[in-house]
Structure 1
Amino acid sequence: MDAHVRRTPEQVVNERHNSSSTQTTIENRFRTAEQKARVDYHIAKWLYQQGIPFNAIKARTFEVMCESIAQYGSGYIPPSYHQVRVPLLRNVVNETAEMKKKYEEYWKQYGCTLMSDGWTDKRGRHIINFLVNCLEGTYFMGSVDASGMVQSAQVLFELLDSKIDEIGEDYVIQVVTDNASNYKLAGGLKDFKNVIGKAKKITTFIYRDPRLLDAMRKRTRQKDLVRAAATRFATACLTCQSLVRHKDALKHLFISDEWKGSNLSKTEAGKKVEETVFAVPFWNTMEDFIRASKPLIVVLRIVDGDQRPAMPEVYVAMEEAKKKIREHLAHKERLWKKIISIIDKRWECQMERPLYGAALFLNPGKFFMFNENENGELIANLHISLVDVMTRLVVDPAIQDKITLQIDDYRYSKGCFGRDMAIRQRTTINPS
């Protein structure tokens, strides 16, 4: 009867994790705390003797193993060295291959995310792990010892490119990395790069000396200059905004008796910082950088936010950001054109994918902000993006035809989509 009624170890463990309360089985009621303590001791002693990391206890497979042994009962003989090394290993490899096939079928229809994560082991080797993620789960592709490689963007690109080829280029929707600087070989403006560098020198110089920092805070009403954020770019932008906001306080600091009487004012670094604080070109360029970066900060907040999905928002948010940059720097046409060209180059390389266009098309609160007469080309491209995505996600031709008819009704606000209630609820109902 046990063979037909008893749940598998996997089922027992899954139920244990899915249940909000811990249920006590009938068998456990007849076991003493001393019996449980003895088993715990033997498991712990084996971990200690073999030098197995303690976090191995957290693995779901460890719980499944313990449940499997318990179901077998007294007298279980563990597998031999040969069994673990050859036939059992072959079984697990075959099982993993079957799991990968299931994932690959999902990737072909819905796409996947390639993830890379670099870390350094105890021997000082630089290891890069590669994983593929989708709604079915995360699959570990393998790791590469990059210790002997030149840590350049080109080498890392080649590693990622080889993994994309292994998965299938058409199936990789996005690449997620650990944000190491080599991964984001981004073009930028030399003037902005210089002004950010000078801003960092000002804040580093002030925060390094407690007395100077205290004098600065007295003049800024205890406000800090450095503003931490989720990304390095956002931190630089917010810190520059803070510097501009407290420009007068900084100037007063560097003409004060406290500064003139300090040894720091006589150092080479102190003289350079003082010169920067009173340099008009520095503040002018800083303000241009803020005008250019503030709209991009809005996009970053949308992407980093956890309250709602970013995909339906990011396309139109970037269009709005470019519009704001043009407005903020209207008096410097050459500058804003250069900035927009950099943004477009990065966007086309990384984000110009049908999925983002389809998400915007199906977000009525944003989509109907565009006018057919003024934005006809953009709307047509979004329509094409939706058709591309729909063709890939929907296999049945009959359903494809039905959706195609509904797309036109939606785009031109006909039928149910043209009713007052539907139009009124474009901005009040979640697009999903």
Structure 2
Amino acid sequence: MCEAIGQFGPGLTPPTQDAFRGSLLEEEYERTKCLLQEREAKKMKNGCSIMTDAWSDRKRRSIMNICTNCADGTSFISSKEMSDVSHTSEVIFELVDKAIEDIGEENVVQVVTDNASNNMGAKKLLLEKRPQIFWTSCAAHTINLMLQGIGKLPRFRKVIDQAKSFTIFVYGHTRTLECLRYFTEGKELVRPGVTRFASYFLTLNSMQEKKDQLRKMVVHSKWDSLKDVKSKKGKEATATILSPAFWKDVKLMLAVFEPLVKVLRLVDGDVKPSMGFLYGELLKAKREIKEAFGNVESRFKDVMTVIEKKMNGRLDSPLHLTAFLLNPHYSYANPSIFDEPKMNEAFISCVEQFYYHDEDQQEQTANFELKKFQNREGPFSKKLARTFQNYDYNPDRGT
């Protein structure tokens, strides 16, 4: 708006208050309705997801937002202040159920929330009333819980604390920060991520990239001459950078965190739907983490325990497994996936829920359509389906 006013130049007469509240508001309302018509058509054709998000504003008021998400983006539905309302399973269920009613039950495929116990209670209530609608855990929240759990393991907690203490010390004093920027040529150490533990990874990765510069800095007279460096915290910061054990732990932690952070970027992006890639990329991440520990079970066991615990029942649901099975990128490249009992059970469960009121469609999908997909018959024999086998889903490139 400011840019448009500036381009107009002197002499612009602003709209009157009556115009803002009347004709202009009505025109904008009609324009917005037209923009939403195309999205509503897609919602009716492909279905949509309902998402909930609870948060607190600066006045510490508790707010619950409800949105819909379909193929071309997210739409806001409602916002409700809940400062005086207990966030029980029943209350959340009523809010979600009303949203489903407003949108139309036939247009809703799933509900997406975080993993809080009250949401899990609301899930049970919804399945009782609307058994054909899926309730899915937020993938970004679940993966962040994995990173958090791994970061709390003693061997990783230590390196996080050491890196955190170093960055707090350096950024907490003008002279040390000036010295850091001198040796890193103006580049920062601290890098924000989509979550706190993703930020830890990015900061550790930044430190690893600048390892030689940091080690050169703490043995230089420019650093040693600083008053703050002679304090207890300053000496600890210097010792951290000069410690071979610290850098060894940083390297291992990056090898463990990186595969999961890559999946986090995948599910947190808005460029393309990621459901069909989530389970497959988590399997890949688990393989890479095991390799980082030399495939020695005693070394990776505690990390795998954290991942499996957070993944179980959340990111390995029938819906996730079915999306994995029906993704040519995985199943066409490895046809043995079709023979795995777990995949077939998940597919049947997913079909029964999706077509809950249509047994004929259940049979058609399970006994005929899946076979066509598996055997690459009809549309599945087309060039596009074949090339999708080698599709490169790279969250860093948004493809």
Normalised by the length of structure 1, the TM-score is: 0.63
SS in 2 for 1:145: coil
Q: Deviations over 1:316-367 (max 9, x none)?
A: 0000011111112117542322111211111114212111111111110222
The alignment status of 1:144 with 2:82, answered yes or no, reads: yes
Residue 226 of structure 2 is matched in structure 1 by 262
Pair 1:376–1:211, CA change in 2 (3 A):
same
Aligned length: 329
The alignment status of 1:396 with 2:331, answered yes or no, reads: no
Quick check: 2:50–2:67 contact (8 Å CA) kept in 1? yes
- CA distance in 2 between counterparts of 1:199 and 1:211 reads 19
Residue 351 of structure 1 is matched in structure 2 by 315
SS in 1 for 2:333: coil
Residue 389 of structure 2 is matched in structure 1 by 427
Structure of higher CA gyration radius: 1
Quick check: 2:148–2:197 contact (8 Å CA) kept in 1? no
- What is the deviation of 1:281? 2.1
The alignment status of 1:195 with 2:155, answered yes or no, reads: no
Pair 1:141–1:213, CA change in 2 (3 A):
closer
SS in 2 for 1:312: helix
The alignment status of 1:309 with 2:273, answered yes or no, reads: yes
- CA distance in 2 between counterparts of 1:270 and 1:300 reads 35
Normalised by the length of structure 2, the TM-score is: 0.68
Residue 336 of structure 1 is matched in structure 2 by 300
Residue of structure 1 aligned with 2:342, choices 342, 360, 381? 381
Pair 1:330–1:207, CA change in 2 (3 A):
same
- List runs of 5+ in structure 2 lacking aligned partners: 1-12, 31-42, 88-114, 394-399
Q: Mean alpha-carbon deviation: is it higher for 209-218 or for 275-284? A: 209-218
- CA distance in 1 between counterparts of 2:173 and 2:163 reads 16
- CA distance in 2 between counterparts of 1:146 and 1:187 reads 32
Q: Deviations over 1:143-167 (max 9, x none)?
A: 5327999xxxxxx945434544553
- Aligned partner of 1:410: which letter? F
- Aligned partner of 2:281: which letter? A
Quick check: 1:112–1:174 contact (8 Å CA) kept in 2? no
- CA distance in 2 between counterparts of 1:60 and 1:381 reads 55
The alignment status of 1:167 with 2:126, answered yes or no, reads: yes
- CA distance in 2 between counterparts of 1:60 and 1:163 reads 38
Residue 189 of structure 2 is matched in structure 1 by 225
- CA distance in 2 between counterparts of 1:403 and 1:365 reads 21
Quick check: 2:171–2:177 contact (8 Å CA) kept in 1? yes
Pair 1:217–1:185, CA change in 2 (3 A):
closer
Quick check: 1:113–1:173 contact (8 Å CA) kept in 2? no
SS in 1 for 2:302: helix
- CA distance in 1 between counterparts of 2:245 and 2:127 reads 50
Pair 1:114–1:63, CA change in 2 (3 A):
closer
Residue 284 of structure 1 is matched in structure 2 by 248
- CA distance in 2 between counterparts of 1:145 and 1:184 reads 30
- CA distance in 1 between counterparts of 2:79 and 2:17 reads 39
- Aligned partner of 1:174: which letter? T
Residue 333 of structure 2 is matched in structure 1 by 369
- CA distance in 2 between counterparts of 1:306 and 1:337 reads 33
Q: Deviations over 1:226-262 (max 9, x none)?
A: 2222222222112111212222221221111112211
SS in 1 for 2:54: strand
Residue 62 of structure 2 is matched in structure 1 by 127
- CA distance in 2 between counterparts of 1:296 and 1:166 reads 32
- Aligned partner of 1:397: which letter? E
- Aligned partner of 1:244: which letter? Q
Q: Deviations over 1:48-78 (max 9, x none)?
A: xxxxxxxxx99989969xxxxxxxxxxxxxx
- CA distance in 1 between counterparts of 2:27 and 2:308 reads 47
- Aligned partner of 1:399: which letter? Q
- CA distance in 1 between counterparts of 2:24 and 2:231 reads 55
- What is the deviation of 1:293? 0.9
Quick check: 1:131–1:140 contact (8 Å CA) kept in 2? yes
- What is the deviation of 1:210? 3.4
- CA distance in 2 between counterparts of 1:117 and 1:256 reads 49
Identity across the alignment (%): 21
Residue 24 of structure 1 is matched in structure 2 by none
Pair 1:146–1:178, CA change in 2 (3 A):
farther
- How much is the aligned-residue C-alpha RMSD, in angstroms? 4.2
- Aligned partner of 1:144: which letter? M
Q: Mean alpha-carbon deviation: is it higher for 401-410 or for 236-245? A: 401-410
Quick check: 1:113–1:134 contact (8 Å CA) kept in 2? yes
- CA distance in 2 between counterparts of 1:160 and 1:223 reads 42
Quick check: 1:114–1:133 contact (8 Å CA) kept in 2? yes
Residue of structure 2 aligned with 1:249, choices 213, 226, 230? 213
- CA distance in 1 between counterparts of 2:302 and 2:156 reads 12
Quick check: 2:63–2:82 contact (8 Å CA) kept in 1? yes
- List runs of 5+ in structure 1 lacking aligned partners: 1-32, 45-56, 65-105, 150-155
- Aligned partner of 2:55: which letter? G
SS in 1 for 2:135: strand
Residue of structure 1 aligned with 2:52, choices 115, 128, 134? 115
- CA distance in 2 between counterparts of 1:177 and 1:420 reads 32
- What is the deviation of 1:271? 1.2
- Aligned partner of 2:343: which letter? L
SS in 1 for 2:194: coil
- CA distance in 1 between counterparts of 2:255 and 2:81 reads 42
Pair 1:39–1:351, CA change in 2 (3 A):
same
